[in-house]
């Protein structure tokens, strides 16, 4: 780490390679698709290289890197809303006779990705940092720049919304019958 901060290119390369997969995983879950995740990952890695000399080690490097990645993702999501959608219309491919069914794990991942995509970016980021990156509440608060109580609230609301979507619950929490 110290060598990378002092400009050693090999040390920087080693540091980035050791964190790139986790940064991409965070970006993939927050942005909801591979193309935006790759763009956000690239922006995050560039920002890490530029910011590393100023990294003061008050937090773990991984926590700081997640903050940089989360900010890159939120920037990418804001850019996405300003871009026109271009491409072919979505369609379901015709099933072929005898073609193998989609594996249950792949289907579950698709369902989770779709459910995450429906969350607001604020809830999505908090849930991903907690459940994918296993950061504690204080670290997430630091990454997102919000109070720990807000982190707890966002994670709770985000998980509740995910559970509703994944179980097919069509009602909002206040409409549900109480036992």
Average pLDDT, the chain: 80
- Structural domains in the chain plus CATH codes: 2-82+103-170 (1.10.10.10)
- Tens-place pLDDT, residues 122-173: 999 999 889 888 888 998 998 889 999 999 999 999 999 888 888 776 555 5
Token digits of residue 87 = 């491409």
Q: Which residues contact 85 (CB under 8 A, 6 or more apart)?
A: none
Q: Two tokens at 156?
A: 């709770």
Output the pTM of the full model. Answer: 0.64
**Tens digit of pLDDT for each residue in 15-39?**
999 999 999 999 998 888 888 899 9
Whether the CB-CB separation of 26 and 132 falls below 8 Å is answered with: yes
- The residue assigned the tokens 């995910």 is 162
The owner of tokens 């369609």 is 91
Tell me how far apart the alpha carbons of residues 170 and 49 are, in angstroms, rounded to a whole number: 45
The pLDDT, as a whole number, for residue 172 is 55
């Amino acid at each position: 780490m110290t060598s990378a901060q002092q400009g050693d290119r090999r040390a920087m390369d080693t540091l980035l390679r050791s964190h790139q997969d986790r940064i991409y995983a965070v970006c993939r879950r927050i942005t909801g698709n591979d193309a935006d995740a790759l763009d956000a990952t690239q922006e995050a890695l560039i920002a890490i290289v530029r910011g590393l000399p100023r990294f003061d080690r008050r937090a773990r490097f991984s926590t700081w890197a997640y903050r940089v990645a989360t900010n890159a993702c939120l920037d990418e999501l804001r850019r996405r809303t300003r871009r026109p959608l271009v491409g072919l219309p979505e369609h379901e491919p015709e099933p072929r006779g005898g073609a193998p069914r989609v594996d249950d794990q792949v289907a579950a991942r698709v369902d989770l990705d779709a459910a995450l995509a429906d969350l607001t970016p604020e809830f999505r980021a908090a849930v991903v940092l907690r459940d994918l990156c296993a950061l504690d509440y204080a670290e997430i608060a630091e990454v997102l720049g919000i109070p720990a109580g807000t982190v707890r609230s966002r994670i709770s609301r985000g998980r509740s919304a995910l559970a509703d979507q994944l179980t097919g619950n069509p009602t909002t929490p206040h409409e549900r019958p109480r036992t």
